[in-house]
Structure 1
């Protein structure tokens, strides 16, 4: 009996993908060159920061590999990546200014997909409880939530960087269920990733796993299929209407 809908954040609700991120980095580099260090090469700095940050992410950047209480926040990660990139050009002292500008430029580019607000409003009107289950550092993810106004829709937010376990591990869903006082069959999860979202929902035995396939990609037959596939969140209220209550 589905009582609550859990949702992923990045690429499910929040439209802040690689192009927006690269534009953010480029804007920071251009600001530094224009305002503080005209001897810097903006293109070279962009490449240096991008390389450092992507190396960090490949090493497990959502923080879930760290024990609780020792998880680095996004601010510290960004500051160190900027310090290393700037140090290549003799300007490590600008790391703090770069990080502040980076956060400002990120917030400017955070935007929800156009199907988010109406869908979440419809689900709340239908008395579904709404939760967010997302991988990433706590401070970065919570900033996205408040910057876009998502917090007004949510009953609960669980972030991998705050609980030291990430999707598709079933334990992040078990933590969510415990906090909501619900059983696995009471809950469905919606997300854009077959691996982390659908796989995590299946690992946790949730009532339904819903794949949001915005790009209409062909499903990898080697991955376990979702309970349902949708191409827009606009389809979700009608789908839930026919789910057992």
Structure 2
């Protein structure tokens, strides 16, 4: 019987996608251009975007670094801004750019409209709730705090803090050990077939639940989830009825 529900953060609970991120970068570039008239906001936007996306493609969740040497998001963002601004002779603006970037990000952090009611229902049904997410610890914890998710969670495990990321089974094993539960006691819910579903299957959890908000067609080459839902509103009944 399922005793705890593990959830992914980005694109599962948090609605902060590419449009919101690009709007964040745009707001920072516009603010910098106002303070330094020789800066071109459009050019700076392109320069920062290239550097940050290159970093993410290289493995930006921090899990590739050994424990104790994992960079936080603040230092990553500051270095990307420094490099972008250095092209225009304004590397000294990297710190204020990073501070503004963090403010603009937090302004745009919002939960999907099915999150709060679903988590409240699961808590009312006495399920323990955990968050298992890839990313730098400071960035992910800022998202949790800014959206008020922390009031629902019994546990948070972040790849950048434990130096292992989904779909590696070890991040789930760390979570289970901290919760004092076995794999069969827990299900995991997430939007990614690659990191969330595969991760839950790798760890042998009681159920792997794919949140397919966009109703995309599953790649037949990827392992199927235990269950597929299109809204978190479906989750409490699925678990309550013992289907998960």
Cα distance in structure 2, aligned partners of 1:66 and 1:213: 31
Q: Which runs of structure 2 are paired with 1:1-245 in the superposition (5 Å)?
A: 1-35=1-35, 37-243=36-242
- Secondary structure of 2:21's match? helix
Say which SS state the counterpart of residue 165 (structure 1) adopts: coil
Q: Distance in 2 between matches of 1:210 and 1:107?
A: 28
The secondary structure found in structure 1 opposite 2:38 is coil
Q: Is the 8 A contact 1:4 1:130 kept in 2?
A: yes
Q: Any idea what SS the aligned residue of 1:133 has?
A: strand
Secondary structure of 2:215 counterpart: coil
1:244 CA drift (Å): 6.8
Deviations 1:98-133 (A, max 9, x none): 000000000000000000000000000000000000
Corresponding residue SS for 1:56:
helix
Q: Is the 8 A contact 1:28 1:101 kept in 2?
A: yes
Q: For 1:149-191, what per-residue CA distance to the aligned partner results, in whole angstroms no more than 9, with x for missing partners?
A: 0000000000000000000000000000000000000000000
Give the distance between the partners of 2:107 and 2:131, measured in 1 at CA.
Answer: 22
Distance in 2 of aligned mates of 1:152 and 1:68: 28
Cα deviation digits, residues 16-39 of structure 1 (max 9, x gap)? 00000000000000001112x111
- How far apart are residue 242 of structure 1 and its match? 1.2
Name the CA distance, whole Å, in 2 between partners of 1:85 and 1:32: 12
Contact 1:2 1:244 in 2 (8 A): no
Segments ≥4 residues shifted beyond 6 Å: none
**How much is the aligned-residue C-alpha RMSD, in angstroms?**
0.8
Q: Aligned equivalents of 2:216 and 2:158: distance in 1?
A: 27
TM-score by length of 2: 0.99
State the distance in 1 between where 2:243 and 2:78 align.
48
Distance 1:241 1:170 in 2: 26
**Shift in Å at residue 241 of structure 1?**
1.2
Which secondary structure does the structure 1 equivalent of 2:221 belong to? coil
Question: What CA distance in whole angstroms lies between the structure 2 residues aligned with 1:16 and 1:244?
Answer: 30
Counterparts of 2:45 and 2:28 in 1: how far apart (Å)? 8
Counterpart-to-counterpart distance in 2, 1:77 and 1:240: 39
Task: Figure out how many residues of one structure are paired with residues of the other and give that number.
Answer: 244
Distance 1:244 1:232, change over 3 A: closer
